[in-house]
Amino acid sequence: MNALAATNRNFRQAARILGLDSKLERSLLIPFREIKVECTIPKDDGTLVSYVGFRVQHDNARGPMKGGIRYHPEVDLDEVNALAQLMTWKTAVADIPYGGAKGGIGCVPKELSLSELERLTRVFTQKIHDLIGINTDVPAPDMGTNAQTMAWILDEYSKFHGHSPAVVTGKPVDLGGSLGRESATGRGVVYAAEALLNEQGKQIKDLTFAIQGFGNVGSWVAKLIHEIGGKVVAVSDITGAVKNQNGLDIPALLSHKEATGKLNDFGGGDVMSTDELLTHDCDVLIPCALGGVLNRENADHVKAKFIVEAANHPTDPDADEVPLLQILSKKGVLILPDIYANAGGVTVSYFEWVQNIQGFMWEEEKVNRELKKYMTKAFGNLKSMCQTHSCNLRMGAFTLGVNRVARATQLRGWEA
């Protein structure tokens, strides 16, 4: 089952729980607009090469559409569609005034020079500039893109529409980006985990953590948990995995990764296989990397009592049916779903957009304080839906998001 089918299934289950009208349900599922463009650029050697770019704008009932742009060889319309729809529910769960969108270009960014990436980004922006905008659709960075990519989009867009810093978020701070944006997704994951653990009468400082993925999100999660006093006992990424049951020295590990580019050969821990991390002995497992890593093969061996989904779809969409959930629930495992847990990034993107529109920038302390407020409030609302509908955390999040979008759609007069 692909990501789109899994997202659709979760949406339909939420719609049934909420008792939505079948016509309204169908209307909410259909994307507002799907865009496919050919981006042809000259390479540095003078040859021409063409890439396919997508932008799916899913829903704008609650505000401008919002979502990242990813550069990855496996970008296709199905994936972009699923992620755009997920953004609609995610922004509603976080209660920020956005709809959902997503974009991407099918390419291998590491195989392109900086100037080739710039040309590709500018051509893509030229093709979609009249379909994005401050009050229409606000892109952001995603896998394979970064603040520099957003700077190019801002510059190219501004050639057509005048200076418009609020057209993208995740920009460099020098161009109107928000302080605290780099750490936002990881910080949001920690605030989400804190909310769940507090509700269970537990605290981060008393627990052990295993973190899969040590990129931007995973490294910030590890750093913040370490600062709070929690023990990060295992960490992995594509270069390898390390463990130390007494707790890894995260600042030293970050320095080692920066110096060597890999986790292996770190003196403060023992080497382990990357597959072993998911079943490592810990209280809280936080997958921060790829989708589909938790499946029927390894679910029975998961030792963590809490799983915080920092990545998108880390629970295999096919395995996230009854058999997998039965395995994990019998073991007493609580899963905090991605649709809520990794909403910190889009929440601080919203703060950036607000700052750009006001022309008034916030201190980083205010950004972090507001983020904690939004994540904590969203968890309370999610739990209320769980109690009202007697459902798990994933369905609590989906019913919360879908209900808000359905209500906004009805209030606007969707059948008119």
* Gap between the Cα atoms of 49 and 29, Å rounded: 35
Residue 152 host element (H or E): helix 147-161
Check the annotation: does 366 bind a ligand: no
Nearest-CA neighbor of 146 among 192, 90, 215? 215
Check the annotation: does 66 bind a ligand: yes
> What one-letter code names the amino acid at 183?
S
Check the annotation: does 231 bind a ligand: no
Query: Could you say which of 23, 36, 102, 127 is catalytic?
Result: 102
Check the annotation: does 185 bind a ligand: yes
DSSP codes of every residue in 88-146: HHHHHHTT-S-EEEEEEE-S-GGGS-HHHHHHHHHHHHHHHTTT-BTTTEEEEE-TT--
Q: CB atoms < 10 A from the CB of 333, how many?
A: 18
Residues 272, 237 contacting (CB under 8 angstroms):
no
Check the annotation: does 2 bind a ligand: no
Strand order from edge to edge, sheet including 48-59 = 33-42, 48-59, 99-105, 65-71, 137-141
> What one-letter code names the amino acid at 76?
D
Beta bridge partners of 209: 232, 284
Query: CA–CA distance from 361 to each of 122, 179, 180, 338, 352 (Å)?
Result: 27, 8, 12, 29, 8
102 is catalytic: yes
| Binding-site positions | 66, 90, 185, 216, 349
| Binding-site positions for NAD(+) | 185, 216
| Binding-site positions for substrate | 66, 90, 349
* Residues identified as active-site: 102
